[in-house]
Amino acid sequence: MYESMKGMLAKANAEGYAVMAINAFNLETARGVITAAEEMDAPIIIDLLQDHVKSFFDCDILTRPIIKMAQAAHVPVAINLDHGSDIAHLKRCLHEGFSSVMCDASAYDAQENARITREIVELAQIYGASVEAEVGNMGRIDESGALLTDDDMYTDPDVAIEFIRATGVDCLAVSYGSTHGDYPEGYVPTFHFDIVEKIKQATGTPLVLHGGSGAGDDNMRRSVEAGINKINVGTDYMIAQREFVARALAENPGYDYPTLVEDSWRAGVATIKHYIEISGSAGRAR
Ligand code: 13P
């Protein structure tokens, strides 16, 4: 069942759970996401990162077969452009059939972010697609593994509340402690759940946790309680596949390559199923 995130997240919001949004970058990794969701009877979002779409597979080629897979799935599946900051490219993705887009204008000031987002919300309505936006910015990890965070990264709840009212977005990514990518060994980030609670109480809008990998299961469960209805995970899915490939080649350097590719996405399915369990979305396909 191919859907936009709108109805999916409205149901999650009403019933108090989060839908997992998993980064995929080709047909195999998208198949892994759908397989995990079907095995857990859960709704799911395939997050296609703008940079991956641009570098690995132009959107008009990639979208069609993934939409076909989504249509054939036994569970609701949305395709979301993740971190769409190139507005011309984002518009093209809407045209090519993405059921959801994240309009990431968070690098601009709040007013300009709202102006750009509002325009995309109006355009997306024509396509029946849903829109995610972001206020605040996630910290990040540099090449050496050092965590680069500061007070500016946190979402100001009052700015987010005004932003939601001004734009009419379907869901909003908020920054309250997580960071994209892999954390240094043993590091568990501190989350400020009050930011999520305040925005949720004022607006009732589905909110999004980015940088789910390594956030910690407890932080995720508490995020859902605070009002998060979409959780993004990318890195942990990729790591599960990379570790499988490394092990498989160490044990058998002559591993048949097509079988290796096939077995590697299957090796990532367990990681997604774990997060589906934590998010509370298992068994919520209907
Ligand atoms: P991680 O790769 O840290 O899980 O983050 C994924 C994400 O938030 C994509 O937008």
For residues 40-55, average pLDDT:
95
pLDDT for 144 equals 55
Q: Taking the CA of residue 62 as centre, how many other CA atoms within 13 Å lie in the half-sphere pointing to its CB?
A: 27
Residue 36 predicted with pLDDT over 90: yes
Confidence of residue 120 (pLDDT cuts 50, 70, 90): very high
Reference 84, options 62, 55, 57, 106; nearest CA is 106
How far is Cα 206 from Cα 83, in angstroms, rounded to an integer?
A: 17
Domains and CATH numbers, the chain: 5-279 (3.20.20.70)
pLDDT surpassing 80 at residue 160: yes
Residue 115 predicted with pLDDT over 80: yes
Closest ligand 1 atom to the C-alpha of 179?
Answer: 3
Q: Is the pLDDT of residue 259 over 70?
A: yes
* pLDDT value for 184: 76
Q: From ligand 1's centre to the CA of 12, what distance in Å?
A: 20
Q: How sure is the predictor about 185, in pLDDT bands with cuts at 50, 70 and 90?
A: confident
Pocket test for ligand 1, best of 20, 83, 103, 232 (most atoms within 8 A of CB): 232
Cα 66 from Cα 123, distance rounded (Å): 22
Q: 49 CA to middle of ligand 1, Å?
A: 9
- Predicted local distance difference test score (pLDDT) of residue 240: 98
How far is ligand 1, taken at its centre, from the CA of residue 45, in Å?
Answer: 13
Distance 214 CA to ligand 1 centre (A): 10
- Ligand 1 atom closest to the Cα of residue 209 is 8
Give Cβ neighbours of residue 86 (< 8 Å, ≥ 6 apart).
Answer: 50, 54
145 pLDDT more than 70: no
Please enumerate in sequence order all residues whose Cβ is within 8 A of that of 63, keeping only pairs 6 or more positions apart, or say none: 79, 93, 96, 97, 98
Task: Please state the atom number of ligand 1 nearest to the C-alpha of residue 213.
Answer: 4
What's this model's pTM, rounded to 2 decimal places? 0.94
Q: Of the ranges 70-74, 187-191, 249-253, 275-279, which one carries the lowest mean pLDDT score?
A: 187-191
**Residue 281 corresponds to which tokens in the numbers above?**
């979305």
Res. 189 pLDDT band, cuts 50 70 90: confident
Q: Is-contact 141 181, C-beta < 8 A?
A: yes
- Mean pLDDT of all residues belonging to the chain: 93
Residues with CB under 6 A from ligand 1: 23, 47, 82-83, 180-181, 210-213, 232-236
Q: What CA–CA distance (Å, rounded) separates 62 from 27? A: 8
> Averaged over 49-62, what is the pLDDT?
83
83 known ligand binder: yes
- Assign 6 a pLDDT band (cuts: 50, 70, 90): very high
Average pLDDT over residues 214-238: 96
- Residue 147 reports pLDDT greater than 70: no
The single-letter DSSP state of residue 151 is: G
Rounded percentage of the chain residues whose pLDDT exceeds 90? 83
pLDDT of residue 235: 96
Distance CA 145, CA 142 (A): 5
Identified catalytic residue from 41, 47, 58, 82: 82
Q: Is the pLDDT of residue 193 over 90?
A: yes
Q: Any binding-site annotation on 232?
A: yes
Residue 150: what pLDDT?
A: 59
Establish whether 227 is an annotated binding residue. no
Asked about 82 being catalytic, the answer comes back as: yes
23 in a known ligand binding site: no
